[in-house]
Structure 1
């Protein structure tokens, strides 16, 4: 036994010494510069190829293995749910890339995540209390469907929130455009100035339309594309006013001011309608919670006195 320990100690000590020597030899201060590194700065090097042209046939990652399965599942979800045009419109309204296939893949991943989480919780319940296995399978299937629909609902919510932000930004942007136009700038120059100085979702859409004009698209077509992407009535009227002013040469400043005033009136009307809806919603807890408790507190003492008298 002592002999074995001495040999193991010698081997460990030799390994430590060799490791220290390798560390010292590879340190920058002690490592020498070879001939290739000395002459490399003085040689003409070939341009580096793009990574898109490299052959990666030798490697295989997990994403490469799962990509065909997720694509098939996404195609199945697309065939089951349908509505590619609706999804494409909502993606554009939400300010996302118009990639319906990628969105379907996200729905599949959300459904898988919901199904795995539900299966884990259900298996724990089945192991503790002995729940029914068919019922667990039904619950998991419902969870998968709920995950898929939750991603779709989240996209709709994001699109509505972006539209609300754009409508909140629209009056100020219209007045800035009217001010720039009345100051003597042309329509395209005014749009570029406002899009460059302003921030927000509306300015992002305006910058996208102006970028299309820089690539050769006419200003009218670019603005019509912005109107089609947003789908808001106020922005449609705004684009129509600019198009009419560009094509017919009508004064644009007064039109923009009138549209900004109409947008503010529309926002004020929307706030009044939202307040009316919230007022009706507040009646539900008052009628079904506060009022029964109040009646109970008012009637119970009388009933108690009647019992005592009887």
Structure 2
């Protein structure tokens, strides 16, 4: 394995990310062994869309192609992150990217071209990252090669100093560590069937696939109509989200885990933190991370902090 001078310069990465140290992980960058795809409804648009995942060369990283425009899966392209993560560039956008990016990051697919047809949104599928994980595992993962046929060493961002962001009673704190550990908390007092939950785990490919990826997105039944009036969740249904009523509890059980809502927040966190990735390197920072009531907006704010976009 080797570094390509065009893409990899540790000093340059240090200058861009003063909060991070980029270190070799003893593995080459990876990509898909062959193409994969899924079609389905877009959660917010309601459109029937297809996402095709294609292998690309080492150093290309992960990026979307929508209407002929290339949109890198990078924090500088995030334009909105209220109820989903939205990327935009060259007048085009792609919505609800977090579950797919979570699966790619969680399984170590560092380089991937994602073509979106039929709309501007990644299909929601069953509301989790499970079907993306299965599609990736079915086609396999292999070493990514550059134009000369060589592999490239993979770098990972290690946190150098403690960092935090907060908004009201929501926060994310990260502490330097030699491994990735996530502790995530949620609190929905208006929905007693959810209530307050915490999920904590060290993260690797196996843990991600079995314990995190299958967790589905969820919503409060009494808030759905308000979201639809705002032009959102047009494609939402009992088949692609867990729905909880404030008075009647879960309307479409059973849950896959007792704390499935909290675990789904970790799916989102992995996908949103993957936007720190540069040139086919690992996106998720190696750190001990504690998040409470964070959500997409705070996830993005924290990644911007680590990337040096905000001080």
Category of TM-score, reference length = shorter chain: under 0.3
Task: Kindly indicate which of the two structures has a greater share of residues assigned to helix.
Answer: 1
Compute the TM-score of the two structures, normalised by the length of structure 2.
Answer: 0.21
Larger Rg: 1
Q: Specify which structure has the bigger relative contact order, considering alpha-carbon pairs within 8 angstroms and separated by 6 or more residues.
A: 2
